Structure 1
């Protein structure tokens, strides 16, 4: 049974290793990760764990003995540090610190210029376009019987861009490496409302916000 489980789940298992896998999605998780797999591994004393797994604890915990061994299948995935005794324990504890650095810590935030549309700006832009004599752009780009399409296109797009600049407001925002494009201010506000409703135990409000997020 152990061999069948190992054959279908991993390539580094042997018949001397037993483990159970739990797939979970914690409430708080870095955005670049979608799920977490937790493995509970049992290694009998007669097995040579170093053939399949990487050991991370390399210091003594009671006298000269290393009692708690941290194993993973990824070399240098964790850094082990000694910690004080827990309660009346006869040996010190171990803290495994992930060597992985989240994207938000690896790269600095970037400042970007974006345009915002105040209330009524779209109507103002539509009025501007309705009052525009679009034929003047074609006439300006016409030479004899031919129309310079590049000049025609450039003049029209430049005019549209100027009209947009006149009715919009530019502001500076901060973007981070782990920020998704769909994570807008509206989505963040809904997520904040969802968390508040969850903590308050308001099932009606929670259902309403979840429907809007779906």
Structure 2
């Protein structure tokens, strides 16, 4: 069970913690065997005062020199938080909560499959192939036979202009994680580790 938290700087800390205490207690009573994670921007509030059995996993500063973003859970030493580059244009670092156990994605084997890669001029070659095709040859009184003939020919043309490529698919790979996005992320992470604020700022803008 994950609870997302934002406590504004001008909020009453005691009131906010009391609300969190009530919400968390309600969830724990319904799901007593679940892992409960409470994470977000706490600013000046400290959840440990109300939930002493919860453990805070963030040990680093998340906004300049301040540790405002915290992750609490009911699992002692179950996680550790690693700082990552800012998300978008946020002035807070993002955090990667790493579990002490082996994640499911590391136990599931990768899948190797074959995909079609389209070279730069493949579309033009395919269009030229269709322009020079005498479609009358495929005509047939039986519509199903006619359709199969045309589709087989189109597939053959596509196979001619494309290249088969074998790739590995990882269980945690998202469909929007393209090579371009990976390149921009790598550039941003390298800039983050370099400590050069100007280069890092430019990399963040490019990724956005």
**TM-score, normalised by the number of residues in structure 1:** 0.54
Indicate the residue corresponding to 2:49 in structure 1.
42
Q: 1:110 to 1:11 in 2, by over 3 A?
A: same
Q: How far apart are residue 150 of structure 1 and its match?
A: 2.1
Indicate the residue corresponding to 2:24 in structure 1.
11
Q: What is the DSSP-based 3-state SS (H/G/I as helix, E as strand, rest coil) of the residue aligned with 2:48?
A: strand
By relative contact order (CA 8 Å, sep 6+), the higher-ranking structure is 2
Which residue of 188, 192, 198 maps to 1:203?
198
Q: 1:11 to 1:174 in 2, by over 3 A?
A: same
Q: What is the DSSP-based 3-state SS (H/G/I as helix, E as strand, rest coil) of the residue aligned with 2:133?
A: coil
| Larger deviation, residues 168-177 vs 193-202 | 193-202
Q: What is the DSSP-based 3-state SS (H/G/I as helix, E as strand, rest coil) of the residue aligned with 1:11?
A: helix
The superposition leaves residues 6-45 of structure 1 with CA deviations (integer Å, 9 ceiling, x where unpaired) of 45223328xxxxxxx7626xxxxxxxxxxxxxx751379x
Q: 1:43 to 1:211 in 2, by over 3 A?
A: closer
Question: Superposed, which structure 2 residues align to 1:132-143 within 5 Å?
Answer: 132-137=133-138, 139=139, 141-142=140-141
Indicate the residue corresponding to 1:127 in structure 2.
128
8 Å contact from structure 2 (residues 122, 161) kept in 1: yes
Q: 1:196 to 1:158 in 2, by over 3 A?
A: same
Q: What is the DSSP-based 3-state SS (H/G/I as helix, E as strand, rest coil) of the residue aligned with 1:113?
A: strand
Q: Which has the higher helix share?
A: 2
Spell out structure 1 runs of 4+ moving beyond 6 A. none
| Number of aligned residues | 146
Indicate the residue corresponding to 1:166 in structure 2.
160
Give yes or no for the alignment of 1:23 onto 2:40.
Answer: yes
Indicate the residue corresponding to 1:108 in structure 2.
109
Q: 1:192 to 1:154 in 2, by over 3 A?
A: same
Q: How far apart are residue 167 of structure 1 and its match?
A: 1.0
Give yes or no for the alignment of 1:186 onto 2:180.
Answer: yes
8 Å contact from structure 1 (residues 103, 178) kept in 2: no
